[in-house]
Structure 1
Amino acid sequence: MSQELRLRILSGIVMAIVVLSATWVGGFAFRLLAAAIALLVYYEWSTITRFAPADRIGGWIAVAIIAGAVLLDRIGLGVALLAAFTLAGMFRTALSAGSQGWLPGGILYAGLTGLSLAAIRGDDAAGLAAMLFVFALVWATDILAYFVGRAIGGPKLAPRISPGKTWSGAVGGTISAVIAGCAVALLLTDASPIWIVPAAFILSVASQAGDLFESFIKRRFGVKDSSRLIPGHGGVMDRVDGLVVACFAAFVLMAARALMAGGSFDMNGGMLLGL
């Protein structure tokens, strides 16, 4: 076994322990993890896209404030702040000649990362089940898409963005995600498959879209990895690209159910599972 492979395995074990431990504990521990991921994602986004230093500092302030709302468990306030800062970034971009919107994009991407993770996990057993549901389907999507794609091959999914991905892999990953998601949900809750199956399908597709989106960003700016923060793995965005967008989709589903139920952002992970 090469030294690089050993380093990759060791880093993966450490990451799994940290993430799953924080997920199990929930509460402030998980919100701290969510806020840290948001800040690291913004760091990598701003480094990759190389927008102006003054804009980068403004983005740091915005994302740090949103991370603070995550730590304080003020999801509704965080959403309002995210909208305000993103609009301010868009206004700033409109006034800057040659700017392509990477500043507001970074604020939105990083801020929504922290908010969606914290909102899904929450503080109760339903939140734990919801977060494990998302983890299971994202991991199933990623792993089975790779193996099915290699075994079957066929037409490429997005050859200009990620030449290795195939339609067969995408379909195989989605089917496996629905199975894995249903297994976790039915094992941990009494959620109805009528809701779980379409939710798992949507989140699996979102996960693959997130993977492609990060590949597009890296190809656009000619970088191999989002950073070198994680030994043997590259950057945080490299590891959470599919998870992040799946969580965005889960957050939207939860927000829609919360608004229909009570007209506010008073949501919890159980809403994702139809509980």
Structure 2
Amino acid sequence: MSGQASKFDDLHIRLISALALGLIALVVFVFGGLWSAALLALGCGAMIWEWREMVVGKGQGLRLRALPMVIAGPVGVLVADQWDPFTGIFAMLVLLAIGAGAERARLRFILPGVAYIGIAMICIEALRNDTRFGFLAVLWLVLIVIAADVGGYFGGRIFGGPKLWPRVSPKKTWAGVIGGVLFAQITGFVFGLFTAVTYAPEVALMSAVVALVSVGGDLIESSAKRYFGVKDSSRLMPGHGGILDRLDGLMAAAIFVAAISFFRGQSIFLW
């Protein structure tokens, strides 16, 4: 019995910190506009700081000339809110180019990481700015990523079994991935029924795909942490590590959903 309980000994602190962050985000995204942009810019800046610390090592300091690179992502989010996502990405890339000269150490790692984080946050803001389905799109996206994470957590802890990719993520199992996808499908189906804005089966199918993409995002960050020899991106969130550790799957999913919405020319909720 004690062995079974130890599998979930970190669950309570994970739930508390996740609920606190989730409630704050929910209230902010209800208002949208500058409120959501400010929250995303703040999170973007924190994740860029975590990424740089991970790449160059803790306590290395920040050169003043590199400040444009650090604020590139947050500025891109704010610009995207006032104009459009492509203008936001352009502004971010300009600042990245200005700050690149000061980040000579491991620039080949810092630059793509900052760009990835910034583009992901800009994509979330772009999804939210849809006047008709913006809030629902972001709410669905967040719920599906959470469902994939929760289903993966319990599926892996309860069933265990073969590892998905031991060299990159020793704790992630195939049972966890299957559990995460199934729970995401159920969540998407229920969400489609209650919102009544689209067909629930299609939402469930897309939810399963988004869940798999979020797993891919998690593996990307896990491989980066293993490469740089760190366990967590930071200790900003009790029980979770850093913000980058929590939003790695959401970032990949946001880019995927935003890309589909752009190429289809309409919201993910219109079929």
Rounded Cα–Cα distance in structure 1 between residues aligned with 2:252 and 2:190 = 22
1:252 aligns with 2:259: yes
> What is the aligned counterpart of 1:78 among 88, 113, 127?
88
Aligned to 1:115: 122
- Secondary structure at the aligned position of 1:223 is classed as coil
Aligned to 1:19: 25
Amino acid at match of 2:229: G
Deviation at 1:123, TM superposition (A): 5.4
Q: Tell me if structure 1 keeps the 8 A contact 2:197–2:269.
A: no
Aligned to 1:49: 55
- Secondary structure at the aligned position of 1:175 is classed as helix
Unaligned runs of at least 5 residues, structure 1: 259-269
Q: Tell me if structure 2 keeps the 8 A contact 1:27–1:123.
A: no
Rounded Cα–Cα distance in structure 1 between residues aligned with 2:182 and 2:220 = 21
Rounded Cα–Cα distance in structure 1 between residues aligned with 2:19 and 2:153 = 20
Deviation at 1:193, TM superposition (A): 4.4
Superposed, 1:66-215 pairs within 5 Å as 66-82=76-92, 88=97, 99=106, 101-122=108-129, 124-193=131-200, 195-215=202-222
Amino acid at match of 1:24: V
- Secondary structure at the aligned position of 1:234 is classed as coil
Q: Tell me if structure 2 keeps the 8 A contact 1:136–1:180.
A: yes
Unaligned runs of at least 5 residues, structure 2: 1-9
What is the percent sequence identity of the aligned residues?
30
Rounded Cα–Cα distance in structure 2 between residues aligned with 1:5 and 1:156 = 21
Rounded Cα–Cα distance in structure 2 between residues aligned with 1:185 and 1:85 = 40
Q: Structure 1 residue runs of 4+, over 4 Å off?
A: 4-10, 51-56, 82-86
1:235 aligns with 2:231: no
Amino acid at match of 1:34: L
Q: Tell me if structure 2 keeps the 8 A contact 1:42–1:107.
A: yes
Q: What's the CA shift string for 1:90-141, capped at 9, x where partnerless?
A: x969x96x84621221221221122111112225351111112112211111
Rounded Cα–Cα distance in structure 2 between residues aligned with 1:26 and 1:252 = 21
- Secondary structure at the aligned position of 2:28 is classed as helix
Q: Tell me if structure 2 keeps the 8 A contact 1:145–1:172.
A: yes
TM-score (structure 2 length as normaliser): 0.82
Rounded Cα–Cα distance in structure 2 between residues aligned with 1:200 and 1:7 = 27
- Secondary structure at the aligned position of 1:101 is classed as helix
Rounded Cα–Cα distance in structure 1 between residues aligned with 2:82 and 2:133 = 20
Q: Tell me if structure 1 keeps the 8 A contact 2:41–2:73.
A: no
- Secondary structure at the aligned position of 2:180 is classed as helix
Shift in CA distance, 22/77, structure 1 to aligned 2, threshold 3 Å: same
Higher RCO structure (Cα 8 Å, ≥6 apart): 1
Shift in CA distance, 149/43, structure 1 to aligned 2, threshold 3 Å: same
Q: What's the CA shift string for 1:129-177, capped at 9, x where partnerless?
A: 1112112211111111121223332221010011111112212211221
Q: Tell me if structure 2 keeps the 8 A contact 1:148–1:169.
A: yes
Q: What's the CA shift string for 1:17-40, capped at 9, x where partnerless?
A: 211111222222112111111111
> What is the aligned counterpart of 2:35 among 25, 29, 33?
29
Rounded Cα–Cα distance in structure 2 between residues aligned with 1:220 and 1:67 = 29
Shift in CA distance, 116/165, structure 1 to aligned 2, threshold 3 Å: same
Aligned to 1:262: none
Q: Tell me if structure 2 keeps the 8 A contact 1:159–1:165.
A: yes
Number of residue pairs the alignment of both structures matches? 258
Rounded Cα–Cα distance in structure 2 between residues aligned with 1:249 and 1:25 = 24
> What is the aligned counterpart of 2:72 among 62, 65, 77?
62
Rounded Cα–Cα distance in structure 2 between residues aligned with 1:5 and 1:174 = 20
Q: Tell me if structure 2 keeps the 8 A contact 1:7–1:231.
A: yes
Shift in CA distance, 144/231, structure 1 to aligned 2, threshold 3 Å: closer
TM-score (structure 1 length as normaliser): 0.81
> What is the aligned counterpart of 1:38 among 40, 44, 51?
44
Rounded Cα–Cα distance in structure 2 between residues aligned with 1:195 and 1:250 = 14
> What is the aligned counterpart of 2:267 among 248, 260, 271?
271
